[in-house]
Structure 1
């Protein structure tokens, strides 16, 4: 499906110069002289390269529709991750770097969504938020204001996050997977 250069949004998957690209950021610019354009930051989903491209309103680009399929994470083997198709029970192995930093939040049995292009997996989407246990939390420094003083903590998966002062070691919390921020206490 062709879309205009000014209709590009973050998260869109585009076919550009024979590659498949995911839009990371956009910035609409209207210079005093000349026509408006969309500055688009994209990441290649096949080889991981990044690029910045200017699209004018007259430019058209092919928007790609990816197939999505539900999988269950089973285990890690060396630098590969093993997933199982929840419909056919077929197992596939994918490189851990396909997930990037989010790989640290994978938990046994976790339901994930694979995005496929021509039957080939190109990205793995984890749930937005996961539950994790704090294994190490710094002590609260007396005299700090309670309004916005967060302290560093280490989760059971080795990830460092900032948590409110009342969170102690052993507490289960909910964390946003993609920006690694504290969401709340697990109920």
Structure 2
């Protein structure tokens, strides 16, 4: 059991027969009245999200979530195919399940897939990835006193804000949790 006062990002719990995941939360202690927890939660199986207010002492059953490392194989335009490297079983997933992670995954990259009662509901890319810059403007010398940045498109197609010295063909390290440039590799 977990109390609403113990909510953190990523925690999954059972409420009204459905499994919910905490997307964002805020503990509020107003000057007058009792404290409460305001949370944005997402239904693990349907994908619907809502904001809800909880009493910090409310208790919920924790949902048991299984995780498995799988290899991203390819996309056929509609589905994204992953393979369990131990059993060689393939798992096709819809865009809704992979939308956050697919921005950073190349074919044959490894990802973590989360399951509830055997049904995959989320794909997580590794925390840090190294990708090649395929498109960017040339850096302009001059106004760099403020740490100027420019947009660059990496090999997976996602646009990242990078420093002016990054060029086409450079490999860069990206934090997939925030989508930020970390360093040149």
- For 1:172 and 1:141, locate their aligned partners in 2 and report how far apart those are by CA, in whole Å: 20
Partner residue, 2:60: 61
- For 2:76 and 2:167, locate their aligned partners in 1 and report how far apart those are by CA, in whole Å: 33
Aligned residues: 185
Q: CA deviation at 1:38?
A: 0.9
Q: CA deviation at 1:105?
A: 1.7
Partner residue, 2:150: 151
Kept in 2: contact 1:84–1:92 (CA 8 A): yes
Alignment of 1:6-25 (within 5 A): 6-25=5-24
- For 1:70 and 1:77, locate their aligned partners in 2 and report how far apart those are by CA, in whole Å: 21
Q: CA deviation at 1:41?
A: 0.9
Partner residue, 1:97: 96
Question: SS of 1:97's equivalent?
Answer: helix
Residues 147-185 of structure 1 deviation map (CA, whole Å, 9 limit, x = unaligned): 421111111222111111111111111112232211111
Q: CA deviation at 1:24?
A: 1.1
Question: SS of 1:89's equivalent?
Answer: coil
Question: SS of 2:102's equivalent?
Answer: helix
- For 1:7 and 1:19, locate their aligned partners in 2 and report how far apart those are by CA, in whole Å: 19
Question: SS of 2:130's equivalent?
Answer: strand
Kept in 1: contact 2:2–2:62 (CA 8 A): yes
Which runs of 5 or more residues in structure 2 are unaligned? none
TM-score by length of 2: 0.93
Which runs of 5 or more residues in structure 1 are unaligned? none
Q: CA deviation at 1:33?
A: 2.4
- For 1:85 and 1:160, locate their aligned partners in 2 and report how far apart those are by CA, in whole Å: 29
Moved over 2 A (4+): 139-143
